[in-house]
Amino acid sequence: MHLSRLRGRKVNELVLSKGERWNGKTMTIRFIMGHPKNLSAPPKPGAFYLGTFASSRLDASAVKRNRMRRRCREALRLSLAQCVGLPAVQVLMTPRPASMTCDFADIAADAGMFLALLKRRG
């Protein structure tokens, strides 16, 4: 399964305001099942649309915020490669400060738990 970008301010705001919330140790995820409405190309079945959100409240340093974002996105990408048969979903991911200092395996475990939730809902 391929990670697609969640694009557009309106789409991100919709997921942030109306999406269901899942809290892990290293990240918080808001998600809405289905495809975004603003696609220029036809939607692929089982597509995974991912956007990241990290405010300056998370850390004052943009370098650290971006590192947290990249670590969480990579863990989700690797976990997603092992999953088959997930429904289409729009995901807005916010890393937590713990994602900066913890082992990558902890982040991957969080990503795996979230994907297991999606598979059960599937």
Q: pLDDT band at 5, cuts 50/70/90?
A: confident
Instruction: Determine contact, residues 26/95, Cβ cutoff 8 Å.
Output: yes
pLDDT at 1 over 80: no
pLDDT tens, residue by residue, 33-53: 988 887 666 777 778 899 998
**What is the 8-class DSSP label of residue 58?**
T
What pTM was estimated for this model as a whole?
A: 0.87
- The C-alpha atoms of residue 37 and residue 111 are separated, in whole angstroms, by 25
SS3 45: coil
Buried b (16+ CB within 10 A) or exposed e, 63-88: eebebbbebbbebbeebbeebeebeb
Q: Which CATH number fits domain 3-121: 3.30.420.40, 3.80.30.20, 3.30.230.10, 3.40.50.150?
A: 3.30.230.10
- The C-alpha atoms of residue 111 and residue 122 are separated, in whole angstroms, by 16
- For the chain, give every domain's residue range: 3-121
pLDDT at 29 over 90: yes
Q: What tokens appear for 77 in the block? A: 């990408």
pLDDT tens, residue by residue, 52-104: 988 888 889 999 999 999 999 999 999 998 888 888 899 999 999 999 999 99
- The C-alpha atoms of residue 98 and residue 82 are separated, in whole angstroms, by 24
